[in-house]
Chains A and B, each alone.
Chain A
């Protein structure tokens, strides 16, 4: 898939370049007023070459008392070539180009053995940022499969749980590579579970990751042609190539700004979106109407993204800035291979690997096993439009974008249900499987047979739960109903009344085949700004309405629900002179309120993973000193539902026109939030109370606080610009 994708896209780029150059060279240049007899070669006299070279480093700590360490030392260059092309002047008023090459080198993999493949030996217990070292039990578990515990981290190691270990963990890899290498597993889910999990050390070292969309054509970050001409009663602009599209008026939030994903694996949301927004191969056509009646500066544009689907980057777990989401995804993909092998020993994953003594077992999965990403084709691209106009004192922007979202929803393809009476019957001996009530319940005897493969499949194997088999069932074939609370063998098989509706999956579910899924949705956006002269405020409003979005809803048997989502941001900006602080330069002060509303879904610790309504407030202040040689800013964000926040700031000193140094800090504040983990509830150690931060609990995070103080950092950037 990857090689085919590379081939197709490489071909497309080559074709476009060839067409562009052919047109440029084939069409004779004509005199144009002001350009004289300039030909294509004259264009290079007007080429502007700009860019920078910098080093960005992070000093990270939990307490900054004894455990601070360098977590990143990245060297990056950006070389930008831009200028006119004096060709096709009969057809276009202007024909221009822009290319940005952005190679980088993350040296942390070579200067420190805390990251990447440098984690040799079992004594590498250090884990940077969130997560910890696997506990003793899991260390032994890993060794049993021929794995080096030093290559793994474990998140939420202090999760309260019943059981002799006193702790239940979810492990994830800390080293790159194409496989996890679980002994006894014929396939390896790393390359298929989610984007870029199989990145190599060099991919991470040089920033050639899937999430940056620079795994192909590295180090070309952006590259496009611009065409300008008059026609259709106005002015026209066509930009085609690898580019960014920036819509909307909100800072920090992406309501309308959803055409391009962002890569949080770089520096979370601390860096500007300009640096972390991922350019995509796309085309923009804009027509400027000018003034129409009371409307001023009217423009309409169409965007078509024909690139492959690219997700929002959550960070490869071996990267310094792997967020909690990135490590969680790896944890669930790794767990898929590890626990599938542990729980179904002596079986083959692949029919071609089956032998008499090692039968093929289909649906042998326990967690995230597949990324059902949209295939690359022209139909799966994103398409959208934007209209802008000024009406009186308002500048209005209306957008609509129809595309696959850049974050997935995870849902069950099949659930593993323990084949015990209490799981497969309703306490009265009647099977509660399948869901088709017309056929009536299937008896336990019938279940023991092969059964209807369309409805369920006997997975086989044994588990600690009394040697019961596990049956892989399609979620729609499961009835959730209240199971009685009863005891057998001194163990309770029931849940507390308040957890009743999740009882079945939590009590009897034992993982399954979890897939990342995407649904093409439409997002309508509206934003506007106006200047209020008496107060001096600039007021910004942005809102979006996404229809029929796929949502993670753990109250649903397959964990997927549908719903609409309404988001809004209200922001105010004001340059304000605070003379006793700075008599000559105003402070740029900004504040925003952000809200999300899911009108159709139930939320809480069960249900959709975000609250029905949640709010985030941000503040931002920037000022300049020393004739703008010293620039400093501070910001803060706080989420009311999660009660978490992030604060930070930086100071940039422009040493000369070329050199600058920036020092910054970021602090994350927040606590743990737990959410129902459905069929993984047994892994929490207390299926009757199956709430954990692992997985969906993390989605309760609002303003980044879930990263907590384990990711607190000081950072620096030394840059030479040209």
Chain B
């Protein structure tokens, strides 16, 4: 009797636990919490896919996909139940870093270490830590910090150029008219890139599915690395003919040129090699016709009213020392990453809310890492990122509000630059990934943003262009 009672009790508990797990991931992402993710990860960490390359998964196959997608993100595909969901699975596409990166790794990885406060020491170039080193690290927080530093130092050739990172505000439900990308002013793009030849986009096909598009911003973006560049061993891995190399890690130029109310607004941000040094920032405000010094330190501030904060860019573009990191482990995900079937190298959107991927999918093993802000006033309680350790870019990441509830989801899109079909002259032989889209939704409020690349790549801009673009005096040139 006692055994029966005990057994019944245990069975009931098991059922209850299983049901709770189901409840926890019951299809309503607005109720998901951090624990939902902990449970999901625990249950599916070692899951193996029941599908293979060549399969085309439909809505009916989604239960097979569940272990390989973040909670909350998975439910978005569950909503895609009109019969048009087609997830074409391909072979995992393995990539290899550029030879110069591998040389840096071989030469310098063994000398890199972490200071007491977590800062990198003796870092020169390449990835600070080998993947095996991370996997074998016993302390999750140290492993997480190593992931953070690898991420911070990920290889992006010499920097990134996007003629138009068209930003679209969306709301769940409804229908939309596809936005049209336009080219930015000549003053920003210079004459070292030819955008005309490949500038042909079928936006009706790109912006499929549902969703209400409220607004769009034309955004020009450029990032230039100044230091720790593997391709310049003869110049101490610094950008040649650049006075800031050796001090500045990178500079970013972001300029908005559409619509009229933001046209001409531009920012220059400088990040330094010294991880403890704060960023410097300047903004040109067209209504003032002045360059203002700005504080780039409120990184949890929304950028231009989007769902991104300043540090959400690239998955994480803040400073690692301002966060605590925890490595969860390595796990298989079903991703759209590093490969596309579309001839414009970019994402296509679909689904009932117009933001989900329509492309080829592949199983990839990703590092899952959690970052917790040290600032108790930060809007996030934590964020979890799924990072590809081959490309060192993010596939998905999620953020939780202060109450621990799921708040936002991101899907990131990258293309292996060497496979680019467009703008080959600025993408070939880079051995690097190049960004093509990021899409984020605020789960709690049913809204989000699409950022899609038009005319981008990893060009070898001349020092003349770099020095010109990042000259603060340049910012006042464009009036509207």
Contact = CB atoms under 8 A, between A and B. Distances in A.
B305 A585 contact: yes
A628 interface: yes
Interface string A372-403: 00000000000000001010010100000000
Contacts, number: 151
A530 interface: yes
A526 to B, nearest CB: 16
A654 interface: yes
Kindly state the interface size class of chain B when it binds its partner: 35 or more
B479 A98 contact: yes
A52 B263 CA distance: 13
Given A52-B260, A237-B477, A721-B260, A33 B186 contact: no
Interface string B287-319: 111101111011011101111010000000000
B192 A395 contact: no
A531 B278 contact: yes
Interface string B176-201: 00000001011100111110100000
B272 to A, nearest CB: 11
Interface in A270-302: 272-274, 286, 288, 290-291, 296-297, 299
Contact of A577 (B193, B196, B298): B298
Interface stretch (A489-497, A568-576, A665-673): A568-576
A163 interface: no
A533 interface: yes
A34 B479 contact: no
Contacts of B186: 46, 83-84, 94, 96
A482 interface: no
Given A583-B379, A584-B302, A722-B260, A246 B278 contact: no
Contacts of A299: 471, 473
A51 interface: yes
B294 A538 contact: yes
A657 interface: yes
A454 interface: no
B288 A274 contact: yes
Nearest to B447: A627
Contact of A34 (B185, B191, B468, B473): B191
Contacts of B322: none
Interface in A616-649: 624, 626-629
Contact of A531 (B260, B293, B467, B468): B293
A390 B281 CA distance: 12
Contacts of A48: 185
B300 A577 contact: yes
B297 A290 contact: no
Nearest to B282: A395
Interface in B216-240: 216
Nearest to A100: B480
B298 A721 contact: no
B305 A660 contact: no
Contacts of A626: 305
Contacts of A228: 477
Nearest to B307: A627
Contact of A388 (B191, B281, B293, B473): B473
Interface string A497-510: 00000000000000
Contact of B263 (A50, A531, A579): A50
A540 B288 CA distance: 15
A84 B260 CA distance: 18
Nearest to B169: A627
Nearest to B464: A230
A297 B471 contact: yes
A461 B29 CA distance: 94
B250 to A, nearest CB: 16
B473 A288 contact: yes
B246 interface: no
A517 to B, nearest CB: 31
A295 to B, nearest CB: 10
B261 interface: yes
B215 interface: yes
A529 B293 contact: yes
Contacts of B63: none
Contacts of A575: 294-295, 298, 301
Kindly state the interface size class of chain A when it binds its partner: 35 or more
A345 interface: no
A718 to B, nearest CB: 14
A656 B294 CA distance: 28
Nearest to B379: A583
A177 B183 CA distance: 49
Contacts of A244: 289
| Contact residues of B: prevailing secondary structure | loop
Interface string A699-722: 000000000000000000000011
A94 B295 CA distance: 32
A236 to B, nearest CB: 11
B425 to A, nearest CB: 11
A82 interface: yes
A121 interface: no
Contacts of A721: 259-261
Nearest to A394: B293
Nearest to A286: B473
Nearest to B184: A48
B119 interface: no
A613 to B, nearest CB: 28
Contacts of B304: 628
Contacts of B106: none
A662 B162 CA distance: 34
B477 A538 contact: no
Contacts of A537: 295
Nearest to B261: A721
Interface in B444-471: 447, 464, 467-468, 471
B12 interface: no
A231 B288 CA distance: 30
Contacts of A576: 298
Given A94-B187, A575-B301, A538 B243 contact: no
B185 A584 contact: no
Contacts of A226: 477
B280 interface: yes
A658 interface: yes
Contacts of A233: none
Contact of A660 (B194, B261, B297, B468): B261
B193 A34 contact: yes
A640 to B, nearest CB: 26
Nearest to B467: A290
A246 B290 contact: yes
A540 B191 contact: no
A96 B191 CA distance: 14
Interface string A318-345: 0000000000000000000000000000
B300 A34 contact: no
Q: Which of A83, A94, A390 has the most CB of B within 10 A?
A: A94
B206 to A, nearest CB: 19
B450 to A, nearest CB: 13
B194 A34 contact: yes
A579 B295 contact: no
Contacts of B477: 226, 228, 237
Given A249-B290, A272-B288, A657-B259, A538 B302 contact: no
A50 B480 contact: yes
B472 interface: yes
Contact of B192 (A34, A286, A579, A627): A34
Contact of A96 (B183, B187, B289): B187
15 contacts: A33-B191, A230-B464, A237-B477, A290-B471, A395-B282, A529-B292, A538-B294, A540-B293, A574-B295, A579-B377, A579-B379, A626-B305, A656-B214, A657-B215, A721-B260
Given A272-B287, A531-B280, A624-B302, 12 more contacts: A50-B260, A82-B480, A94-B187, A288-B473, A296-B244, A393-B280, A536-B295, A575-B298, A584-B379, A585-B301, A624-B305, A656-B215
Nearest first, the 5 closest Cβ-Cβ pairs linking A and B are: A628-B305, A34-B191, A533-B278, A627-B305, A299-B473
